[in-house]
Structure 1
């Protein structure tokens, strides 16, 4: 048990209250009841506190009960507000109260300590504590500062690493762009990342490959264009003059090449003043190989005609050459027409070529049908026919590019439309007839490009 050697009285309380963050007051505590407290107050002029049986505390002065404002003077606050409002707590001082005069403990008596403070005073003492709380706070702040400094250093190191890595990736992309600009399309950017920059490098490599492929395609197209131009030049050089006079016969030829080089062929052989042979054919396909085959066909026909072959024999001989010496089974149509003025006759031998038309002086237009398989197969059997060819007659031979020319809706010009045009214009001379056919064709196709070469051959007998 502890014994209080210092009197816990008002003087001590005022001394403590003046130097700490709280006010304190000490009261003798009677363990009795309210009545006992009243009797004691009547005998002695003193202030005391009595703890009642229900746990409450009553303060008395000379037997009169006191309220909180009478225990202390009014609370002096620096400012108004909740944090400056006074709070009062109490606790029992567990010591024996000793009478200093006699040195004997006072039986049945103890002390009650009242403590008055405010949240603002508590905080002020905490921040200005003499128990080195401020030092601890500064230590905490220093620790936090060191922690954030280390974190900042780590973040700076990571950021520097990322910046250097990004810079290297950008330099690789820049080097790739420079190489591509120099024309080195085989260059590829090394891909070492799996982020957006890595995706960009992969996209750059794909773009370079696409450009390389595109340039290869462009070069191939240029090569094909040059090849087609060469084939067109070969084709044009092998065709005869567009206008030719052979005695009383006038030959007019019209040739319109398609966008791609085809295999249209025609030739005129004036064998004498009274004998003329015209040949017209078409090699299947387009391009340089077709043009070369057409040139070979022209040479073969010309050589055989000058050797004396004619009509069916001529076509059979040409077919034999194609079958025996041709490396490919390309189909070739051919029509050979011989005009004999001495006999006023027209003789036609045909192998798969579109039928010619004969316009007579009486104004009729006859389709010279002579069906047969084209050249290039052993099954080809040329068809022949013979017709009168008096003065004023007009022969019209053409390639399939005329009847297959299509309108904007895809409808072909067709044989029926050609027959109608010839029937309506049968009384016209050869030159005018050619102009009418081409005008009707142009109006029908509305200026569209031809899908195939167009050849129109007109032979007119004037006398």
Structure 2
């Protein structure tokens, strides 16, 4: 094999399906083709390959059918246009096809029934004619028979031809006369053995019988007339003709081909007195009727003039037994012949011409209406498919990021409104993206603000040898409007050996506040308040310059404030803060604030409360002392005076300061309240302060439940060692 052909072959193998029904169908088809080639091998191997090919073919068909259906559904029916075409075919064409099929089948059945009816009517008419002729012959022969008492004298007077004048007949029939069941006269056609008179026919009810009979495997048309004579004898005249091709040609004239099919019949009993020269009819012997046909094979006048074949049965009597039976009748005709038989002479003349022209015009009108409906359906379908195609193209453009793409809308229907809605949606997406970017920018700024605010809260432990400190703030939003701070003051301690003095903690300033409002504005005011408090802390420090830039870069950022007199008067600091906030913020902005100075040497806590929820000191013995001295909120009015209070902290006493976010959360049982806060702190008062704080937060979370945190939560704890 050349290298190029080998590469193509293996490339085709590599592209074979690798999973699912496609892979199974691929390998089954390969085996089917291989076995198709192997079946031509002579001998056992070829036969085995042929048998396996049939099995593989059946399995391949079972696998291919669902695969074909999946392919049609996923590929051919993926397009809306193809789905609409299939829908129109199912809704519009399928009923038409079913109705046309029903009409054609009904017309076919009606045509066949009409052809059968024509043959049956012709047979019946011929039998009626035979009956009339037979009755006339009976009247003609009756006087002669009544005048003779013996058969010999009767035969001498009977005419050689029994057919009366004026009674024509197209075919030669057998005529037989019987007296009391015995043949006395016979005129034969010399083609068939004459019928004898069966025992059941010696006395027929009503004296008349005509119909199709079978005798000795042959079919006959028989007409019988009998009457009892004056002398009591039963006189019977029977006229019969065999149903041969010439007679069937008469019945099939203008119709096509008529067949009488063979049918097994059983002769129960032979006639009591067979006619001369007739074959002996044996009792209880089965005979088969020979097929008889007549007529001319019909030729179609056009392509629509199809062959109409229809079977039926004709009533028949078993002549030997007198039992009713049926013979199968088939008619092979054409609609044009049946149409001629139905309308006959009415097909000619100006009336029929007008009808033909009218029908032709009606066909053209219906065709024009159908063409108009087809064009309208195509245009309506095109509007739908074009709208969907525009929408699909627009979604692809939007998926690629082209939000400025707009669908051109020219119509006013529902699909046009859908396109307009899509255009509005892309516009909304553009606006949402802009808003999303702005939101992300604000979120980034909030994150920065949150980080900045987090740096404003104390990060390192500020415990004194005589006082443990702990604080926590949990914002309701990204940033908090609550504020707390610890400010440690130092003092110089002279050296005993006259060396350089050392520094120690002389006290601590405690601040907790709540800014009006929430969010960014409250956080900004909180930063202002924090900066002002820190500024008053640094105001008592001595200004010392660094000797070099390196010393300035490596200096302690925390700083150590002097224990001077500024912060030892919280009421004065509160008045200065009130003036600062009143003059630097909007009129509606204010803050509640609690400031306290703890003296480490005397364990005295000096405080001032500016509208903050009163902190309390929980004594070791369970007593509670509220810290309420102070004044109104800061920043709302200028020139306000704030009082001061003092508390001496005992060992084990706990200072609990909090914002309204601790006591005001609600549920179905009411506020969390100060009482529950005291219960939690009292229960865990011997634990470290961060454990007490965590338990308070857990109690608050359980109280709030799944609801959103309503306000910032701030808690400050201080315990005397």
Range of TM-score over shorter length = 0.5 to 0.7
Describe how 1:26-425 pairs up with structure 2 within 5 A. 123-127=343-347, 129=348, 131-241=349-459, 243-272=461-490, 273-308=505-540, 309-310=566-567, 311-327=570-586, 329-370=588-629, 372-378=631-637, 381-407=641-667, 409=668, 411-422=670-681
Alignment check: 8 A CA contact 1:401 1:454 kept: yes
SS of residue in 1 equivalent to 2:521: helix
Give yes or no for contact 1:255–1:453 (8 Å, CA) kept in 2: yes
8 Å contact from structure 1 (residues 192, 198) kept in 2: yes
Deviation per CA, 1:284-337, whole angstroms, max 9, x where unpaired? 233333323222211111111221433112111112111212246322121110
Deviations 1:148-197 (A, max 9, x none): 33333433443444344444433432332233223233433232222232
* Contact 2:595–2:607 (Cα < 8 Å) also in 1: yes
d(CA) in 2 for partners of 1:153 and 1:435?
A: 85
How many angstroms does 1:210 deviate by? 4.2
Taking CA–CA contacts closer than 8 Å with sequence separation of 6 or more, which of the two structures ends up with the larger relative contact order?
A: 1
CA distance in 2: counterparts of 1:181 and 1:122, whole angstroms: 71
The DSSP-based 3-state class of the residue aligned with 1:245 is coil
Q: Unaligned 5+ residue runs, structure 1?
A: 1-77, 79-119
Q: Describe the SS at the equivalent of 1:270.
A: strand
Gaps of 5+ in 2: 1-250, 252-339, 491-504, 541-565
Assess, with a 3 A threshold, how the Cα gap between structure 1 residues 287 and 439 changes in structure 2: closer, same or farther: closer
Shift of 1:425: 5.7
Shift in CA distance, 163/390, structure 1 to aligned 2, threshold 3 Å = closer
Q: Which has the higher mean CA deviation after the structures are superposed, 441-450 or 187-196?
A: 441-450
CA–CA separation in structure 1 for the residues paired with 2:355 and 2:701: 101
Go from structure 1 to structure 2 and tell me whether the alpha carbon gap of 1:145 and 1:354 turns closer, same or farther (over 3 Å shift): same
Q: How many residues align?
A: 343
Q: Distance in 1 between matches of 2:369 and 2:698?
A: 88
Shift of 1:431: 5.5
CA 1:191–1:411 in 2, change beyond 3 Å: closer, same or farther?
farther
In 1, the alpha carbon distance for the partners of 2:677 and 2:636 equals 30
Distance 1:343 1:277 in 2: 15
**Counterpart of 2:573 in 1: which secondary structure?**
helix
CA distance in 1, matches of 2:598, 2:468: 12
What CA distance in whole angstroms lies between the structure 1 residues aligned with 2:679 and 2:378? Answer: 87
Cα pair distance change 1:159/1:452, threshold 3 Å: same
Q: TM-score, normalised by structure 1?
A: 0.65
Alpha-carbon contact 1:261-1:291 (below 8 Å) kept = yes
Helix, strand or coil: the match of 2:633? coil
Q: Which residue of 2 aligns with 1:441?
A: 700
For 1:144 and 1:435, how far apart are their aligned partners in 2? Answer: 95
Q: For residues 7-52 of structure 1, what are the alpha-carbon distances to aligned partners after superposition, in whole Å with 9 as ceiling and x for unaligned?
A: xxxxxxxxxxxxxxxxxxxxxxxxxxxxxxxxxxxxxxxxxxxxxx
Structure 2 counterpart of 1:19: none
Cα gap change, 1:246 to 1:229, in 2 (>3 Å)? same
Separation of aligned partners in 2, 1:147 and 1:435: 92
Instruction: After superposing the two structures, state which structure 1 stretch, 338-347 or 140-149, moved more.
Output: 140-149
Bigger drift between 318-327 and 162-171 goes to 162-171
| Structure 2 Cα separation of the partners of residues 447 and 201 of structure 1 | 43
Q: What secondary structure sits across from 1:155 in the alignment?
A: helix
| RMSD value, Cα | 3.2
Give yes or no for contact 1:261–1:453 (8 Å, CA) kept in 2: no
Tell me the distance in 1 between the aligned counterparts of 2:509 and 2:486.
6
After superposition, the Cα gap between the structure-2 partners of 1:218 and 1:366, relative to the gap in structure 1 and judged at 3 Å, is same
CA contact (8 A) 1:338 1:346 kept: yes
Structure 2 length-normalised TM: 0.43
| Distance in 2, Cα, partners of 1:305 & 1:197 | 72
**Any conservation in 1 of the 2:609–2:628 contact (CA below 8 Å)?**
no
Contact (CA 8 Å) 1:304, 1:314: kept in 2 or not? yes
User: 2:593–2:633: 8 Å Cα contact kept in structure 1?
Assistant: yes
C-alpha change, 1:121 and 1:285, in structure 2 (3 Å) is same
Contact 1:333–1:352 (CA under 8 A) maintained in structure 2? yes
Q: 2:715 is paired with a residue of what secondary structure?
A: strand
Residues of 2 paired with 1:180 and 1:449: CA distance?
A: 37
Inter-CA distance 331–123: structure 2 relative to 1 (3 Å threshold): same
Matches of 1:458 and 1:426 in 2, distance apart?
Answer: 11
Rounded Cα–Cα distance in structure 1 between residues aligned with 2:705 and 2:366: 82
